[in-house]
A and B are shown apart, each in its own frame.
Chain A
């Protein structure tokens, strides 16, 4: 099964480097856990054995932005925190993706107030928004799968700067 099934006859197969890199990239998305508030608890559940993000090749939660591909912004982002989030995002190497986890990061959520940024897309390029307050772990896994689909479709020409 799997790749062995393709190795018939002469024991090789042809593909493009582009497709191979995209395949490798999408199955090893290393998250940057930007756990700011309660969503981070659900994110930890995703990392635990029950939901097990390792099934999708993303178990390597890097505590440094320099080794990660995908930032999971999990929690309420205040105006004061926004500068920190942006600074960490800027330190991640290209190509990179962002998951806005939960209602607060997507839209400000229930914090309709002067201190909370009403959606992190005001200062970050968000790829996937996740609904819920907080989203269930399966919902975050769904977001990760959606990111993987997105990454799988990319080609080298999509990243001219990296």
Chain B
């Protein structure tokens, strides 16, 4: 059995009554997971001996710029054992800007989630240290949101006096 089928089968047997949609683009396999089970699914993918997705490469988000179902989380994870990269997509749902943190699964998710919090304003439940990553802590906006102007908001970032 191919690894892609194996991943889907294991998820389906572990989480009954849950819909997983899959897609593939240029050899990159992607699974969409509902936000309720994100931590459990990640734990399964990491701790299963056959799958062993032990490396969390990146976590980012997408702002679709629409009212309903605005944000999507994207996780890139890698299995060193199988040399296989998996993309996980996870819609946050209507009006929701919160999701459970996966730092309990991969420690490297800590800073990646802080970056998402900084740039998109998505909050992570149970995150050990949810502070801004790049912008000054007094900054009030989230730059990668669609409503944020490219040149920023005048006066939102301070400069030293000349």
Contact = CB atoms under 8 A, between A and B. Distances in A.
A86 B136 CA distance: 16
Contact of A79 (B149, B150, B157): B157
A113 B151 contact: yes
B160 A114 contact: no
A18 to B, nearest CB: 28
Contacts of B149: 114
A57 interface: no
Nearest to A122: B159
Interface residues of B, number: 16
B135 interface: yes
B13 interface: no
B160 A123 contact: yes
Interface in A76-105: 79-80, 82-83, 86-87
A125 B150 CA distance: 27
Contacts of A86: 160
Contacts of B135: 80, 115
B161 interface: yes
B136 A80 contact: yes
B152 A123 contact: no
Contacts, number: 40
A76 to B, nearest CB: 14
Interface residues of A, number: 15
Interface centre among B152, B153, B159, B161 (most CB of A within 10 A): B159
Nearest to B162: A123
A66 interface: no
B39 to A, nearest CB: 32
Contacts of A80: 134-136
Contacts of B152: 113-115
B121 interface: no
A114 B143 contact: yes
B151 to A, nearest CB: 6
Contacts of A125: 162
A150 interface: no
Interface in A19-34: none
Interface of B: 134-136, 143, 148-153, 157-162
